[in-house]
């Protein structure tokens, strides 16, 4: 996938996850791991979201490690 950092070799292969992401707006395409809460299903992520408080449901790819050593998740799609 263009523009995405390769998976973290220690953590294994990046995978798709359902998540709730805390962000000020929906313009970002990558998120620090501390802003992402993973869920088992799409329904759980959607029910846990709260757009009024800036918690948005999404499908993300990760985790991967940035060149600075930060753990990141990348947006696949907003739910």
Pair 35, 26: CB distance under 8 Å: no
| Residue predicted with more confidence, 3 or 30 | 30
Residue 52, Cβ density class (10 Å: 0-12 exposed, 13-18 middle, ≥19 buried): exposed
What pLDDT is stored for residue 65 in this prediction? 84
Question: If you average pLDDT over residues 5-13, what whole number do you get?
Answer: 57
- Residue 5 pLDDT exceeds 60: no
pTM of the predicted structure, to 2 decimals: 0.81
pLDDT at 79 over 60: yes
Indicate the domain borders of the chain: 15-78
Confirm if 7 and 14 have CB atoms less than 8 A apart.
yes
């Amino acid at each position: 996938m263009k523009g995405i950092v390769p998976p973290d070799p220690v953590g294994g292969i990046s995978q798709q996850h359902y998540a709730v992401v805390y962000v000020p707006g929906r313009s970002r395409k990558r998120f620090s791991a501390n802003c992402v809460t993973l869920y088992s299903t799409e329904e759980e992520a959607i029910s846990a979201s709260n757009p009024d408080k800036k918690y948005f449901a999404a499908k993300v790819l990760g985790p991967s490690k940035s060149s600075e050593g930060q753990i990141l998740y990348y947006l696949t799609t907003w739910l």
